[in-house]
């Protein structure tokens, strides 16, 4: 690695002069400045940002804005675990996380969490957030200072200036779910559960699923709205409603981690073996029903990896001064009873 001493030796000047050129401070003749900069370019010198920050005793705080960990079958514990893993790996560089949680089914709770962050912006160096309430999230990021970079995980808000988005292509994952359904069913009625309040990436999954079925005359999709603001167990209640309205239903698509609520009811009424069930995310309850065969397929979006990469995107941008990929699309993983034990997502 090229050092300042090497640049000074090659330029025929002191280390102090090189330092002044690097940081554009102090008095240096134009001739010397040009010569030193030429040597810097020839040697491809890169400053040791980490060592400099350590010497300055600079500390960094990244805010983490996520739904409450226990929501959606404890799904939000997974990105939080990935975030904490990344923080543990870089804490030697004086990086810490400040976790702020909100009820994803309450816009008021989200606004209160945002207010906490906005009141502490002067102490923050970046934000990792899951903008599941798209309209409220858009308003929040528009109010942020340009000084504070932010990264989206899980969901994406359009018309934003986020540093990076780490997540799945939601529409395509819905398309994949429809293709899997077609492999299991040749004809029949299907139900798709749409979650309220509006969650852009889950809505996108439903759109992807329906886009495939619209071109399949042998399949008919009925979309049911499930409002979790009224009842956390609404997916179970919706399954009752689906079976009452369409007792001959052949498949159910659940575009969220709450697939286990549907699986539990299907098992209880003896319908688990004649209805194809496709859902999302390897939370513990979903794992149990996938293993027993009640859930036919789960689609995973690697939430722990999303959280992990979210922190590292901020770390590379803020501390290492490196460029960051504006989008990091995670694979669409298909989980079955047969490959479950070998999955490391």
Whether the CB-CB separation of 224 and 192 falls below 8 Å is answered with: yes
Is 343 within the bounds of a domain?
no
Is 236 within the bounds of a domain?
yes
Radius of gyration of the chain (CA): 25
Alpha helix positions (H), 150-233: 170-184, 200-213
Query: Do 86 and 164 belong together in one domain?
Result: yes
| Interatomic CA distance for residues 122 and 105, integer angstroms | 29
Query: Do 78 and 177 belong together in one domain?
Result: no
| Interatomic CA distance for residues 203 and 158, integer angstroms | 14
Q: How buried is residue 108: exposed, middle or buried, by Cβ count under 10 Å (0-12/13-18/19+)?
A: exposed
Is 153 within the bounds of a domain?
yes
**Neighbouring residues of 345: CB distance < 8 A, sequence distance ≥ 6:** 282, 300, 302, 304, 305, 333
Query: Do 289 and 197 belong together in one domain?
Result: yes
Query: Do 222 and 189 belong together in one domain?
Result: yes
Tokens matching residue 189: 């009625």
Q: Tell me which residue range forms the domain holding 42.
A: 4-47
Is 338 within the bounds of a domain?
no
Query: Do 198 and 296 belong together in one domain?
Result: yes
Can you give the pLDDT at residue 326?
94
Can you give the pLDDT at residue 249?
97
**Based on the structure, what is the number of domains in the chain?**
3
| Interatomic CA distance for residues 149 and 166, integer angstroms | 14
Tell me, what CATH number does 20's domain have?
1.10.260.40
Of 158, 157, 155, nearest to 166 by C-alpha is 155
Per-residue confidence of the chain (345 residues) as pLDDT tens digits? 677 788 888 888 887 888 788 777 778 888 888 888 888 888 887 766 655 665 556 899 999 999 999 998 899 999 999 999 999 999 988 999 999 999 998 999 999 999 999 999 999 999 999 999 988 999 999 998 788 999 999 999 886 789 999 999 999 999 999 999 999 998 999 999 987 766 788 899 999 999 999 988 899 999 998 877 657 678 888 999 999 999 999 999 999 999 999 999 999 999 999 999 999 999 999 999 999 999 999 999 999 999 999 999 999 999 988 999 999 999 999 999 999 999 987
Query: Do 91 and 181 belong together in one domain?
Result: no
| Interatomic CA distance for residues 31 and 21, integer angstroms | 11
| Interatomic CA distance for residues 194 and 213, integer angstroms | 16
The model carries a pTM of: 0.83
Tell me, what CATH number does 190's domain have?
3.40.50.2300
Tokens matching residue 321: 């001064």
**Neighbouring residues of 343: CB distance < 8 A, sequence distance ≥ 6:** 282, 300, 333, 335
Q: Please, what sign has the CA dihedral across residues 129, 131, 132, 136?
A: positive
What is the 3 state secondary structure string of 91-138?
HHHCEEEEEEEECCCCHHHHHHHHHHHHCCHHHCCEEEECCCCHHHHH
Q: Which residue has the tokens 């809505």?
A: 203
Is 155 within the bounds of a domain?
yes
Query: Do 198 and 241 belong together in one domain?
Result: yes
Query: Do 163 and 176 belong together in one domain?
Result: no
Can you give the pLDDT at residue 245?
94
Of 249, 246, 277, 252, nearest to 189 by C-alpha is 249
Is 190 within the bounds of a domain?
yes
| Interatomic CA distance for residues 193 and 331, integer angstroms | 23
| Interatomic CA distance for residues 212 and 208, integer angstroms | 7
Whether the CB-CB separation of 297 and 335 falls below 8 Å is answered with: yes
Is 160 within the bounds of a domain?
yes
Is 186 within the bounds of a domain?
yes
Query: Do 195 and 263 belong together in one domain?
Result: yes
| Interatomic CA distance for residues 136 and 134, integer angstroms | 6
Query: Do 296 and 149 belong together in one domain?
Result: no
Q: Which residue has the tokens 């309450």?
A: 106
End-to-end CA distance of the chain: 36
Query: Do 227 and 326 belong together in one domain?
Result: no
Length of the chain: 345
Query: Do 174 and 285 belong together in one domain?
Result: yes
């Amino acid at each position: 690695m090229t050092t300042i001493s090497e640049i000074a030796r090659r330029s025929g000047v002191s280390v102090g002069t090189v330092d002044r050129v690097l940081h554009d401070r102090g008095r240096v003749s134009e001739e010397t400045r040009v010569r030193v900069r030429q040597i810097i370019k020839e040697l491809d010198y890169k400053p040791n940002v980490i060592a400099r920050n350590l010497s300055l005793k600079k500390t960094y705080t990244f805010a983490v804005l996520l739904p409450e960990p226990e929501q959606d079958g404890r799904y939000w514990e997974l990105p939080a675990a990935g975030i904490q893993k990344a923080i543990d790996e870089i804490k030697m560089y004086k990086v810490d996380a400040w976790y702020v949680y909100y009820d994803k089914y309450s816009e008021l709770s989200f606004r209160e969490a945002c207010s906490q962050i906005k009141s502490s912006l002067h102490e923050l160096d970046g934000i990792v957030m899951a903008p599941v309430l798209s309209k409220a999230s858009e308003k929040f990021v528009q109010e942020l200072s340009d000084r504070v970079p932010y990264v989206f995980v899980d969901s994406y808000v359009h018309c934003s200036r986020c540093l990076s988005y780490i997540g799945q292509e939601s529409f395509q994952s819905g398309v994949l779910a429809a293709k899997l359904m077609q492999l299991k069913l040749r004809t029949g009625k299907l139900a798709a559960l749409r979650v309220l309040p509006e969650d852009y990436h889950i809505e996108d999954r439903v759109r992807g699923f329906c886009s495939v079925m619209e071109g399949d005359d042998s399949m008919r999709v009925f979309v049911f709205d499930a409002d979790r603001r009224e009842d956390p167990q609404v997916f179970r209640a919706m399954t009752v409603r689906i079976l009452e309205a369409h007792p001959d239903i052949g498949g159910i698509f659940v575009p969220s981690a709450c697939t286990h609520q549907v699986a539990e009811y299907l098992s209880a009424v003896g319908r688990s073996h004649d209805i194809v069930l496709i859902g999302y995310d390897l939370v513990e309850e979903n794992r149990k029903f996938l293993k027993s065969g009640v859930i036919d397929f789960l689609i995973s979006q690697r939430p722990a990896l999303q959280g992990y990469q979210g922190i590292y995107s901020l770390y590379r941008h803020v501390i290492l001064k490196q460029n960051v990929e504006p989008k990091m699309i995670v694979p669409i993983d298909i989980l079955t009873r047969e490959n479950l034990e070998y999955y490391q997502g």
